[in-house]
Amino acid sequence: MKRTSWALGVGGWALTLMLVAFASVPEAQNQAPQSPSTAPAGNSEAGKKLFLSYGCYQCHGREAQGSSATGPRLGPRPIAFTAFSRYVRRPTGQMPPYTARVVSDADMANIYAYVQSRTPPPALQSIPLLREQ
């Protein structure tokens, strides 16, 4: 009997912790993700210069195409601006943080505009060497 009551006690605590965790999720996270079109206006040409000068290209490639060895793809359809900005400011991986002192909000908008402006890669079927013969 002790084993059963102990298991129920642990299960009860686990359920309580889960309920507390879900109740503490900020309301903003429960909303639909922000679309890239709601990002602040930025200048993609200025963003390209910043992307290169801050060294973003070293991990993400000159066209923000990313690499499995160095950094994820950023464009041409980037994540929502708020998530992009939040990650740049407080990254969780090996990327160094770029605080507002380093990259201003205006510069962030320009970099995002550059990433957004990247053209999608061509369809595989349109590349002759990749077509099945």
Quick one: average pLDDT of 6-12? 46
Band (133; pLDDT cuts 50, 70, 90): low
pLDDT of the residue at 116: 95
Task: Tell whether 37 is covered by a domain.
Answer: no
Task: Tell whether 23 is covered by a domain.
Answer: no
* DSSP string covering the chain: -HHHHHHHHHHHHHHHHHHHHHHTS-HHHHSPPPPGGGSPP--HHHHHHHHHHTTTHHHH-TTS--BTTTB----SSPPPHHHHHHHHHS-SSSSPP--TTTS-HHHHHHHHHHHHHPPPPPPGGGSGGGS--
Residue 36 · residue 23 · CB < 8 Å: no
pLDDT tens sequence across 17-64: 333 333 333 333 333 444 545 778 999 999 999 999 999 999 999 999
Task: Tell whether 85 is covered by a domain.
Answer: yes
Whole-model pTM above 0.95?
no
Tell me the CATH number at 70: 1.10.760.10
Residue 125 · residue 70 · CB < 8 Å: no
Task: Tell whether 22 is covered by a domain.
Answer: no
CA dist 55 and 81 (Å) reads 20
Task: Tell whether 29 is covered by a domain.
Answer: no
pLDDT tens sequence across 101-129: 999 999 999 999 999 999 998 888 899 88
Range of the domain at 78: 42-120
Task: Tell whether 13 is covered by a domain.
Answer: no
pLDDT of the residue at 38: 76
Task: Tell whether 58 is covered by a domain.
Answer: yes
Domain count, the chain: 1
pLDDT tens sequence across 66-113: 999 999 999 998 999 999 999 999 999 899 999 999 999 999 999 999
Residues 35-59 as b/e (b if ≥16 CB within 10 A, e otherwise) read ebeebeebebebbbebbeeeebbeb
